[in-house]
């Protein structure tokens, strides 16, 4: 039986799923130790048409502008966890950035023909001559410094540079120490520099046939062993980001984009601006798992447990 069939079998039971994730996390840790950093995580574009890839890249870029409330980004930028494509970096560089550092603990699998089509189309839409020094890709894009195999936690602790902007999308939930990394990112900002992180707090399909907050019921130590090497969701929730923001010297805010038990994402808002009906549905979802919550989450409020997506912005 191959690993995929084992995984399919395990999905049926929470305990079996946990055993699978414990094994898979250990296996990934060994692979990383041996220098194999290839992953399916972030391999988004191989399954998309060129048109859909371009729309996704433009959406990510435009969301960053909207979250940062700016017309364009300038100076030195760090993009954490770009995944398999560097179109966002290309747009940043085309519209004002001097340099972009792309930092990724893993190497998301990518198909070079697919990537070539995306870069060619993006360059043609942007009226760009040729920003690449050779075959289009992350190595040849002028102004891009690519750092595969370097965790954000390590990169910012080593503080190679100071940045005007540090951004990420769907990444901080995969870090093994997002709060430590944020502390170091704050120290890596130039005066007036900004952080923009969009964070997905859901379980990323870990327990697909169960309650959407099932991952919050797993014992803390076991959960860590299931997730820290493989980059599965770290279960750091909104209250931890809020505590970090309050103790930082940054001027920032956290807006909500998703709630438990609510299918669709919404534009970033604060809790009070979410319709009562939506909030109550999410609070009911929390109450269903509250009796089984992991010990370290029992003191967290229902409102905080209900939040499954946020945008964190902060200025130095």
Ligand X SMILES: C[S@@+](CC[C@H](N)C(=O)[O-])C[C@H]1O[C@@H](n2cnc3c(N)ncnc32)[C@H](O)[C@@H]1O
Binding positions for ligand X, rule: CB under 6 A: 39, 41-42, 44, 60, 80-83, 103-106, 108, 151-153, 169-171, 174-176, 231
The strand pair at 307-315 and 189-200 is best described as antiparallel
Q: Minimum Å distance from CB 78 to ligand X?
A: 10
Residue given tokens 């930082």 in the structure block? 248
Question: In the complex, which residue's CB is closest to ligand X?
Answer: 81
Q: Minimum Å distance from CB 65 to ligand X?
A: 15
CB-wise, 83 or 252, nearer to ligand X? 83
Q: Minimum Å distance from CB 287 to ligand X?
A: 30
CB-wise, 133 or 158, nearer to ligand X? 158
CA distance 300 to 138: 42
CA distance 28 to 151: 14
CB-wise, 92 or 152, nearer to ligand X? 152
Residues 6+ apart with CB under 8 A from 66: none
CB-wise, 83 or 136, nearer to ligand X? 83
Q: Phi first, then psi: what are they for 47, rounded to 5°? A: -100, 5
User: What is each CA distance from 259 to 23, 137, 238, 256, 292, in whole angstroms?
Assistant: 30, 37, 11, 8, 19
Q: Minimum Å distance from CB 292 to ligand X?
A: 27
CB-wise, 224 or 290, nearer to ligand X? 224
CA distance 285 to 227: 24
CB-wise, 106 or 146, nearer to ligand X? 106
CB-wise, 14 or 100, nearer to ligand X? 100
CA distance 174 to 42: 11
Residue given tokens 């996704």 in the structure block? 56
Q: Minimum Å distance from CB 67 to ligand X?
A: 13
Q: Minimum Å distance from CB 39 to ligand X?
A: 6
DSSP state of 187: H
Q: Phi first, then psi: what are they for 103, rounded to 5°? A: -115, 125
CB 239 within 8 A of CB 201: no
Q: Minimum Å distance from CB 237 to ligand X?
A: 18
CA distance 183 to 180: 5
């Amino acid at each position: 039986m191959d690993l995929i069939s084992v995984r399919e079998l395990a999905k049926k039971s929470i305990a079996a799923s946990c055993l699978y994730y414990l094994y898979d996390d250990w296996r990934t840790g060994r692979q990383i130790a041996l220098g194999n950093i290839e992953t399916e995580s972030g391999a988004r574009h191989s399954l998309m048409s060129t048109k859909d890839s371009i729309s996704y890249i433009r959406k990510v870029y435009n969301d960053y502008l909207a979250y940062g409330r700016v017309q364009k980004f300038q100076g030195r930028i760090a993009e954490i966890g770009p995944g398999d494509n560097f179109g966002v970096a290309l747009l940043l560089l085309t519209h004002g950035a001097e340099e972009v550092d792309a930092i990724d603990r893993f190497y998301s699998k990518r198909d070079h023909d697919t990537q070539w089509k995306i870069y060619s189309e993006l360059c043609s839409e942007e009226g760009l001559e040729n920003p690449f020094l050779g075959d289009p890709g992350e190595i040849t894009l002028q102004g891009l410094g690519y750092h595969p195999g370097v965790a954000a936690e390590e990169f910012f602790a080593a503080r190679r540079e100071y940045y005007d902007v540090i951004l990420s999308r769907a990444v901080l939930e995969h870090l093994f120490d997002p709060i430590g990394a944020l502390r170091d990112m704050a120290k890596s900002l130039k005066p007036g520099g900004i952080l923009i992180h969009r964070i997905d707090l859901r379980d990323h399909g870990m327990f697909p046939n169960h309650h959407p907050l099932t991952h919050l019921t797993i014992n803390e130590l076991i959960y860590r062993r299931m997730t820290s090497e493989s980059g599965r969701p770290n279960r750091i929730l909104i209250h931890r980001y809020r505590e970090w923001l309050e103790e930082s010297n940054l001027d920032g805010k956290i807006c909500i984009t998703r709630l438990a038990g609510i299918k669709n994402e919404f534009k970033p808002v604060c809790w009070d601006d979410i319709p009562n009906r939506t909030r109550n549905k999410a609070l009911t979802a929390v109450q269903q798992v509250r009796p089984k919550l992991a010990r370290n989450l029992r003191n967290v409020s229902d409102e905080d447990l209900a939040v499954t997506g946020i945008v964190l912005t902060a200025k130095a």
